[in-house]
């Protein structure tokens, strides 16, 4: 039985569920680590336009971070304390998917972030609107990703070798993201409880991962990686 | 005769003066180069709080860049073309003032940016309100600089050696900034014409530089470097 792409979760998690703060915290550290990664990888760009596209994406991540910092401090929670448990897993994801070329960094910015965003957006479906809005807000795609799409499409249309490499790279990004997500959940009871409550039962979790794989395949196709 | 700190320029430059686009362009490249510098120097920070303070400052620079990019494109000017003439001078400034310690990078973020902001803010006084507002907007200090002030004050209160070194460092930042400003002006006729029109005559230029030196001394004092 395949996934039902139109299926989605319905709100069932109170906004004071302790997993909500953990969700904000893991998103917050995600934004910071994405900021540094993008700012650093911008140096790989052969063009000023490319450097700038990544810099803008990086700045957008930091703006999202500030939204989450405020949401946590509204709950009386210090963002640094809250993020601490997630540092290792997210750093491990980035270390294991460190791009060695400009094209790899483009694909990671688009595909890697997309996988994470899909997961959190699904969870948002089970959250009360005031919480869900914050999650969706910080996951909003920026229009800078258009640049990434054009850059990668043109490159892979011109080189079969680049295309083959980047298809493998995309698969690796998906694998590493899932590995690290499991690692995060294994360590954080309240967040795990939230995810289980959000999804309802095992069938729904399977359907959710099916939907994520489909979205991943769609994003790869957008990049010409098909 | 000393500077008159209350003196300021009055609007005398039409908003379609060709130097206005050059002013926006040099500010735009200034924001980009500050972004990369701050993002890179954040790695020098011994603490997550410090890393984050610089990351937020970097993101603010990129938001300012987008304001300038829009202002230029409203005038039908491509930001990349417009910035090109300023790349060498601004890169030279950053290369010649590359911080080797976390404290040096803090002082540069506060004092170096302050010198540039003083200069552009003075020029803004001679611009039509709609242009002046853009300039002032992108020069607005962010509240993240509070972190810098605390960090440096505490360090120099604790170490005479750090204090002596950072006082020399501050002087060097001022010198290099003036050198590079002269280099920029020597190359860009329209911008130079704008600055000369803005200031009016030689006495006013001298008064402007006196005011900049005073503001520099005040900023050093705020950091405990006195």
Which of A39, A62, A80 has its CB closest to that of B56? A62
Q: B52 and A63: CB-CB below 8 Å?
A: no
Residue A5 lies in a domain: no
Which of A59, A83, A138 to substitute to test the interface with B, most B CBs within 10 Å? A59
Q: Which has more confidence, A200 or A33?
A: A33
pLDDT bracket for residue A184 (50, 70, 90): confident
Residue B7 lies in a domain: no
ipTM of the complex: 0.75
Residue B5 lies in a domain: no
pLDDT in tens, B90-117: 999 999 999 999 999 999 999 988 888 8
Residue A22 lies in a domain: yes
Question: Three-state SS for B78?
Answer: coil
Residue B12 lies in a domain: no
Contact with chain A for residue B36, Cβ under 8 A: yes
Q: Say how far apart CA B29 and CA B112 lie, in whole Å.
A: 15
pLDDT in tens, A106-122: 999 999 888 888 888 88
H helix runs in chain B, sequence order: 18-41, 48-74, 79-83, 87-96, 102-107, 113-124, 129-139, 145-158, 160-187, 189-199, 202-222
Mean pLDDT of chain B: 88
Residue A179 CA from chain centroid, whole number: 13
Cβ contact B126:B15 at 8 Å: no
Q: Which residue of A has its CA nearest to B50?
A: A80
pLDDT of residue A23: 93
Cβ contact A97:A176 at 8 Å: yes
For residue B180, is pLDDT > 50? yes
Q: A59 and B56: CB-CB below 8 Å?
A: no
Which residues have a Cβ under 8 Å from the Cβ of B55 and sit 6 or more positions away?
A32, A35, A36, A62, A65, B38, B39, B42
The CATH number linked to B39 is 1.20.1260.10
pLDDT of residue A2: 42
- What proportion of chain B, given as a percentage, has pLDDT over 90? 51
Burial of B192 per CB tally in 10 Å (0-12, 13-18, 19+): middle
Q: A62 and B58: CB-CB below 8 Å?
A: yes
Residue B105 lies in a domain: yes
For residue B3, is pLDDT > 70? no
Q: B39 and A52: CB-CB below 8 Å?
A: no
* Residue range(s) defining the domain that contains residue B157: 18-222
pLDDT in tens, B51-68: 888 898 899 999 999 999
Q: B32 and A55: CB-CB below 8 Å?
A: yes
Q: Which has more confidence, B105 or A8?
A: B105
Which of B40, B42, B62 has its CB closest to that of A59? B62
Which of A49, A62, A80 has its CB closest to that of B49? A80
Mean predicted confidence (pLDDT) in A60-68: 93
For residue A28, is pLDDT > 80? yes
Mean predicted confidence (pLDDT) in A126-132: 92
pLDDT bracket for residue B74 (50, 70, 90): very high
pLDDT in tens, B19-42: 999 999 999 999 999 999 998 888
For residue A126, is pLDDT > 70? yes
Residue A183 lies in a domain: yes
For residue B143, is pLDDT > 70? no
pLDDT of residue B6: 44
Which of A42, A49, A80 has its CB closest to that of B48? A80
CA distance A59 to chain B (A): 4
Q: Tally the domains of chain A.
A: 1
pLDDT of residue B158: 96
Which residues of chain B does A41 touch, with a Cβ-Cβ cutoff of 8 Å?
none
Mean predicted confidence (pLDDT) in A62-86: 95
Q: Which residue of B has its CA nearest to A84?
A: B48
Residue A99 lies in a domain: yes
């Amino acid at each position: 039985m395949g996934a039902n792409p139109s299926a989605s979760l319905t709100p069932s998690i109170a906004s004071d569920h302790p997993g909500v703060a953990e969700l904000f915290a893991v998103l917050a550290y995600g934004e910071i680590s994405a900021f540094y990664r993008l700012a650093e990888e911008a140096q790989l760009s052969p063009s000023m336009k490319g450097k700038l596209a990544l810099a803008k994406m990086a700045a957008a991540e930091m703006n999202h971070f500030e939204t989450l910092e405020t949401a946590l401090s509204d709950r009386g929670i210090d963002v640094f304390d809250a993020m601490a448990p997630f540092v290792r897993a997210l750093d491990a994801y980035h270390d294991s998917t460190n791009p060695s070329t400009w094209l790899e960094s483009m694909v990671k910015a688009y595909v890697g972030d997309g996988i994470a965003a899909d997961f959190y957006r699904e969870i948002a479906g089970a959250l009360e609107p005031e919480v869900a809005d914050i999650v969706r807000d910080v996951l909003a795609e920026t229009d800078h990703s258009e640049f990434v799409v054009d850059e990668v499409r043109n490159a892979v249309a011109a080189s079969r070798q680049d295309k083959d490499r980047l298809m493998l790279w995309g698969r690796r990004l998906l694998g590493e993201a899932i590995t690290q997500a499991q690692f995060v959940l294994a360590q954080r009871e309240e967040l795990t409880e939230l995810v289980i409550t959000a999804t309802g039962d095992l069938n729904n979790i399977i359907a959710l991962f099916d939907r994520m794989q489909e979205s991943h395949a769609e994003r790869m196709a957008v990049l010409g990686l098909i």
